Amino acid sequence: MAQYLNETSRTFSEYLLIPGLTTKECVPNNVSLKTPLTKFKKGQTSDIELNIPFVSAIMQSVSDDGMAIALAKNGGLSFIFGSQGIEEQAAMIRKVKNHKSGFVISTANLTQEHTLKDVIQLKGKTGHSTIAITDDGTAEGKLLGIVTSRDYRTSTDRLDKKVKEFMTPFSNLVTAQLGISLKEANDIIWDHKLNSLPVIDENNNFKFFVFRKDYDNHKDNPLELSDSQKKLVVGAGINTRDYKERVPALVEAGADVLCIDSSDGFSEWQKETLQYIKSEFGDKVKVGAGNVVDKDGFLYLVEAGADFIKVGVGGGSICITRETKGIGRGQATALIEVAEARDEYFKETGIYVPLCSDGGIAQDYHMVLALAMGADFLMMGRYFARFDESPTRKLIVQGNYVKEYWGEGSNRARNWQRYDMGDTADGLKFEEGVDSYVPYAGSLKDNLAVTVGKIKSTMCSCGTTSISLLKEKAKITLVSSVSIVEGGAHDVIVKE
Ligand code: RVP
């Protein structure tokens, strides 16, 4: 006979936190959101710690190199999507690892034989008004000059005028040598009243631009997540099929942490993948596994060697797994059970395995609840898809700005490995995700500031200044559907 779980499967919206004593030290400025990413022994700390408890979802519509750079600068981490070729994914990792704050690889480049018409077209396409002129028109060619909007007048100049006739030639440029620090580059920019400074190597090959306008942006990223060589930290999604080729390529490219990406991770495929990685690379390569929703799944993957466990089946905003397959569990209930298993495991073994709550965060307050319920960090797709930095198109739909957001189990992503049941190699048999729009919300940095502010404020109301204290001290209550109504504005006529 089937086993019945008596507990109802519940989600975050069904819970609230009860305020605890807020002491005078308990102010948002004193709250730290530092949190472990990978397992560690009692008395030690995790090899990788996030400065904010957020990672972006392993999805085509969320986590490319652009998102990874922006999120790491703000203290979190992206797992670059794995539903792409191995080389393409490794190239994205390399871009993040090679990113140097303030040193921009130019995406607007031409040769001196191009014309003013080409300059205007490129400016329209890229939005960049500073164009590098190199011998081969690439971002790595020999630097011959630069063109900015001060070099031409569209009202009087001929469109077929050659770039070499109006560019600022190399001989008149102030340049810097590769190896210069950002501080030194900015000093040159100030001393020479420049808007941009090209950085070249000893053979005059073009490397980067440093822009005056970027300086302030780069000064205020105190939470930036970087490795021992000051390079941004980045993760990558992998699957249980091509891991023998993909993992070495990603490690070679510099990925700091991997995560097996699957809608249902309680499988022998994941065990084999974990065992292969640990036997080939030992503890040097960190790898998370999942997703699971109960104690059995948690223990299975931890014993197979996982460095963190991802929790959640069917709760994602674009996910229809529960509807199509009838599997899953309310995200809060899943998290509460797995967190209990994790705490027991810690007591028995002295090994702390961080938990990632994945999917279903629809409100900022859900984040604090998830952390209070035992998550160490949160994976979010919808939240990040709304920002400028996500890789998808921004469109106007019915008069509102939106961004595209599609599931990995949708026909659009065709990520069959994520839904693989061992015989799916010929393609997805049915969809488990939808293609959608999310309201456009602006820049990641601005939105994170508000979200983090709310989380810190709630933590202070609970009388806690760290995530581990929150887990220990939080008092959580179930709410009735009637009291949920009480929680919003009610019995008033809200003004427009
Ligand atoms: P959300 O943040 O609620 O948008 O959920 C994102 C999560 O949804 C992902 O991290 C992943 O676990 C899950 N996902 C991604 N694609 C699909 C799907 O197509 N069903 N689900």
Average pLDDT over residues 367-383: 98
pLDDT of 422:
72
The answer to whether 263 is annotated as binding is yes
Choosing from 26, 259, 319, 462, the catalytic residue is 319
How many angstroms separate the Cα of 71 from the Cα of each of 36, 46, 121, 191, 442? 17, 20, 31, 32, 14
SS3 assignment, position 211 = strand
Q: For residue 441, report the distance from its CA to the centre of ligand 1, in Å.
A: 19
Q: Is 326 left (phi over 0), alpha (psi -120 to 50) or beta?
A: left
Phi and psi, residue 145, nearest 5°: 170, 180
Is the per-residue pLDDT at 401 higher than 60?
yes
pLDDT at position 403, please? 97
Tens digits of per-residue pLDDT, 43-96? 999 999 999 999 999 999 999 999 999 999 999 999 999 999 999 999 999 999
The 10s digit of each residue's pLDDT in 90-128 is: 999 999 998 877 888 888 999 999 999 999 999 987 878
Catalytic site residue 382? Answer: no
215, pLDDT greater than 80: no
Residue nearest to atom 21 of ligand 1 (CA): 319
Task: Name 188's Cβ contacts closer than 8 Å, sequence gap at least 6.
Answer: 174, 176, 180, 194, 197
Q: Is 316 annotated among the ligand-binding residues?
A: yes
- Short-list 316, 359, 363, 356, CA closest to 339: 356
Residue of 246, 329, 342, 418 marked active site = 418
Residue of 23, 84, 169 whose CA lies nearest to 414: 84
Q: Is the dihedral of CA 477, 480, 483, 487 positive or negative?
A: positive
Please give the structure tokens belonging to residue 163.
Answer: 């770039």
Residue 312 labeled ligand binder: yes
**427 to each of 14, 327, 415, 418, how far by Cα in Å?**
37, 21, 8, 11
CB 99 within 8 A of CB 232: yes
pLDDT for res 214: 64
* Separation of CA 406 and ligand 1 centre (Å): 9
- Regarding the beta carbon of 319 and ligand 1, being less than 6 Å apart is answered yes
Structure tokens at 63: 């986590």
Average pLDDT over residues 409-423: 81
12: amino acid identity, one letter:
F
356 is in an annotated binding site: no
Q: Which two tokens stand for residue 144?
A: 């011959």
Q: Which domains does the chain have, with CATH numbers?
A: 12-100+224-481 (3.20.20.70), 109-219 (3.10.580.10)
d(CA 288, CA 353): 10
User: Residue 404's beta-bridge partner residues?
Assistant: 437
Determine the residue of 12, 318, 366 to mutate for testing ligand 1's pocket, defined as the one with the most ligand atoms within 8 A of the Cβ atom. Answer: 318
Alpha-carbon distance of 229 to 264, in angstroms, equals 36
State if residue 318 touches ligand 1 by the CB under 6 angstroms criterion: yes
Ligand 1 neighbour 289 (Cβ under 6 A): no
Burial of 412 from C-beta contacts in 10 A (0-12 / 13-18 / 19+): middle
Per-residue confidence (pLDDT) for residue 164, from 0 to 100: 96
* Element (DSSP H or E) covering residue 207: strand 206-211
- Tell me the C-alpha distance between 146 and 166, whole Å: 9
In 12-114, alpha helices (H): 65-73, 86-98
Q: How far does residue 313's CA lie from ligand 1's centre (Å)? A: 9
pTM: 0.86
Across the range 187-213, mean pLDDT stands at 92
Partner residues linked to 437 by β-bridges: 404
Nearest-angstrom CA–CA distance, 369 and 13:
9
At 333, which amino acid appears? T
